C-alpha cells in the first residue's frame, strides 16, 4: 500500500465556487481534493448537517473559501461578509478536526466574525490568481507537515500502532540482539529481521488473514530463544539469505477497526460502501505512518524492522 495522499474537502458558497475550483488546482499538488458540488461528496437522504459531520470523519483536511457574498448592516455600518453556511461548515470541521486541519481562505475586504480575531488567515484578491495561489501556498506546508504526524481520531489506529510497537515490536527487536543462533536443515542463522505485513484491507479477522498469508507464502512457525523468554514467530528461512532469517508478523491488533468504522458511520446494513473502503485504507495508512515513527525512534528497530504490504 503506497502512502495515500491526504484527502482535502474544499467548501465555498455558490458565488465563490469559481475561486474554490482554482484552490483545488493549487492544492491538488499535495492532496486528493474534493469540491462540495462534486458527485459522491454528499450522501443522499441525509441532512446537510449530518453529511458535514460524516465528511469531517472522512476527510483529512478541510479548506473553506470565504468570498464577499453578503452586504450586512452591523452597528450602523455596511460590511461585506461571507455566506453564513461557509462559516458554519468551517466551524464544524474546526470543532471536529482541530485548528491544524481546518483552514479558511479569505477574500480581501471581507469581515469575519469577531471570534476569528487574532487568527492569521491568508487573504486573496479574486481578480489576481497569483494571490489565490499564494494564499494556498501558506497552507500547503502546514498540510504536508501535519499529514505526516500521527493524530488521534474517532478511529483507534494511532493508539493501536503505538501499542503494537511497545507491546510487541520493541520487546522483540531488543531480544533478537541476544537471541541464540537458529539452525534449520543444517544451515545456521545468526541475524534476524522482522517484516511487519500491513493487510490489504480490514475485512474479517486479521488473525485468519494472517494464517492464510503465512500458509500461502510457505512460512513456518518456530521459536527464537532470547535472554529472558521464547518468541513464537513465523519464518522464511532461505539458505541463499543465510545467515539472515526473515520473520513475519501481520498485526492482529487491527481486528475490530472495521467494526469501529461501521459504528461511527451508523450503518444499518451489511456490505461496504465506497466511503467505508476509503476510510479503512486511510486508517491502515495512518497505522503504518505511526508505526514507522515508532520504529524510527529506536536504532535497534531501524536496523531490524521493515514495514511491507501484504503480497
Shared-domain flag, residues 123 and 176: no
The alpha carbon of 174 is separated from its chain's Cα centroid by a whole number of angstroms, namely 29
The domain total for the chain is 2
* Nearest residue to 61 (alpha-carbon basis) of 91, 105, 102, 21: 102
- Omega before residue 97 within 30° of 0, cis: no
Question: Is there a domain that residue 152 lies in?
Answer: no
Per-residue pLDDT of the chain (311 residues; tens, 9 = 90+): 555 788 899 999 999 999 999 999 999 999 999 998 887 777 777 777 777 777 777 788 999 999 998 777 777 677 888 898 899 888 888 887 888 889 999 999 998 888 877 788 899 999 999 999 999 998 998 888 887 765 545 567 888 999 999 999 998 998 888 888 888 889 999 999 999 999 999 888 899 999 999 999 999 998 887 666 777 889 998 898 899 999 999 999 998 887 777 776 666 556 667 777 778 888 888 899 899 999 999 999 999 999 999 99
Residues 100 and 199 in one domain: no
pLDDT of residue 226: 66
Beta-strand runs (E) in the chain: 7-11, 32-35, 61-66, 70-74, 77-81, 102-107, 123-124, 182-184, 187-189, 191-198, 220-225, 230-236, 244-249, 305-309
Q: Kindly report the CATH number assigned to the domain that includes residue 121.
A: 3.40.50.360
Domain-terminating residue out of 122, 147, 172 = 147
Q: State which residues form the domain around 166.
A: 157-309
Q: Report residue 15 as a C-alpha cell.
A: 458565488
The reported pLDDT for the residue numbered 227 is: 62
For residue 157, with 0-12 CB atoms within 10 Å meaning exposed, 13-18 middle and 19 or more buried, which class applies? buried
Same domain flag for 205 and 276: yes
Q: List CB contacts of 66: < 8 A, sequence separation 6 or more.
A: 16, 82, 86, 87, 90, 104, 105, 106, 107, 110, 112
What pLDDT, on a 0 to 100 scale, did the predictor assign at position 184? 85
In a domain, residue 102? The reply is yes
pTM: 0.66
Amino acid at each position: 500500500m503506497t502512502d495515500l495522499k491526504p484527502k482535502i474537502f474544499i467548501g465555498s458558497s455558490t458565488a465563490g465556487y469559481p475561486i474554490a475550483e482554482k484552490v483545488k488546482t493549487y492544492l491538488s499538488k499535495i492532496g486528493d481534493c474534493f469540491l462540495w458540488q462534486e458527485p459522491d461528496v454528499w450522501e443522499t437522504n441525509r441532512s446537510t448537517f449530518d453529511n458535514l459531520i460524516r465528511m469531517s470523519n472522512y476527510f483529512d483536511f478541510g479548506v473553506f473559501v470565504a468570498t464577499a457574498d453578503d452586504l450586512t448592516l452591523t452597528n450602523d455600518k455596511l460590511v461585506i461578509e461571507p455566506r453564513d453556511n461557509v462559516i458554519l461548515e468551517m466551524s464544524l470541521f474546526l470543532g471536529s478536526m482541530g485548528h491544524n486541519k481546518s483552514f479558511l481562505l479569505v477574500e480581501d475586504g471581507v469581515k469575519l466574525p469577531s471570534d476569528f480575531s487574532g487568527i492569521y488567515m491568508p487573504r486573496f484578491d479574486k481578480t489576481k490568481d497569483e494571490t489565490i495561489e499564494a494564499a494556498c501556498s501558506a497552507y500547503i506546508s502546514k498540510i504536508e507537515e501535519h499529514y505526516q504526524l500521527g493524530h488521534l481520531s474517532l478511529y483507534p489506529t494511532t493508539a493501536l500502532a503505538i501499542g503494537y510497537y511497545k507491546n510487541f515490536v520493541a520487546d522483540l527487536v531488543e531480544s533478537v540482539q541476544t537471541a541464540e543462533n537458529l539452525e534449520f536443515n543444517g544451515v545456521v542463522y545468526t541475524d534476524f529481521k522482522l517484516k511487519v505485513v500491513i493487510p490489504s484491507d480490514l475485512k474479517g479477522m486479521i488473525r485468519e488473514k494472517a494464517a492464510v498469508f503465512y500458509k500461502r507464502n510457505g512460512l513456518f512457525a518456530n521459536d527464537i530463544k532470547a535472554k529472558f523468554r521464547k518468541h513464537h514467530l513465523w519464518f522464511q528461512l532461505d539458505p541463499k539469505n543465510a545467515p539472515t532469517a526473515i520473520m513475519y508478523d501481520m498485526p492482529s491488533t487491527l481486528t475490530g477497526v472495521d467494526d469501529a468504522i461501521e459504528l461511527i458511520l451508523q450503518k444499518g446494513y451489511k456490505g461496504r460502501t465506497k466511503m467505508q473502503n476509503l476510510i479503512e485504507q486511510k486508517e491502515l495508512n495512518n497505522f503504518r505512518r505511526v508505526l514507522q515513527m515508532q520504529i524510527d525512534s529506536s536504532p535497534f528497530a531501524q536496523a531490524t524492522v521493515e514495514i511491507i504490504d501484504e503480497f
